[in-house]
Structures are given as C-alpha cells and as structure tokens.
Amino acid sequence: QVELVESGGGVVQPGGSLRLSCVASRRTLRNYSMAWFRQAPGKEREYVGRWQWSTDYADSVKGRFTISRDTFNNMLYLEMNSLKPEDTAIYYCASGPRASRQAENYNFWGQGTQVTVSS
C-alpha cells in the first residue's frame, strides 16, 4: 500500500503561481507512473499530467504547468504558472503501474489539495 499526501494548495490571483507537492509513504515502484489530476465543482476528474521517465501534459495546462519527480525522496511536484480561474479545482496526486491519462488506471490516490484562482 502506498499513501500519497498532497500539499501546497491555496488562493492565488489570476496570473500567479503555485507549487504543489506530493509525498509517498514509501518508495514507489521504480516503473510506476505518478500523475496529477484535478476536479472542479460539478465536473469530472480531469487529467493534468504525469511523470514516468518523461512527462506528459493535458493540452489545457501545457506550457504553464511543469511536473517533476524526486524519486530518492518519494516526491512529486506540480509547478503551476500563469494560473487562470478555470484552474480552480481540487488537485490530486496518483500513482499506478501504467502511464495513462485515465484515472481508473491509477491504484493509489491522495486526499487532494484545493487550488483557488480568484481576484
């Protein structure tokens, strides 16, 4: 079992930046994919991006968000720049054996951290 805990959410103005962190309770399997998803009120959970040897991003965040991973310290990061009100959501960290954009392919999930972009 792997526990994931996100942190770093908050309230930021449009155009601002935030950095989210995700720590895993134990070393995730070397070939596991780690990903970020988000869910806005009244909407389905949405893929943001993933890291597994390389990165992949949803079109909606490409060029603004950057994912990095510190495998030694079991950390995953999401650097978010040029934030927009439509980025407001609960952001979740996830881990699973497949590099996928589908939430159902991820076995382990964090509790989420709220990001609110508002003036």
Give 8-48 pLDDT, tens digit per residue: 999 999 999 999 999 987 766 656 889 999 999 999 999 99
pLDDT digits (tens, 9 = 90+) for 69-81: 888 888 899 999 9
| CA distance to 71, 74, 98, 104, per residue, from 31 (Å) | 11, 13, 9, 18
In DSSP terms, 92 is beta-bridged to 37
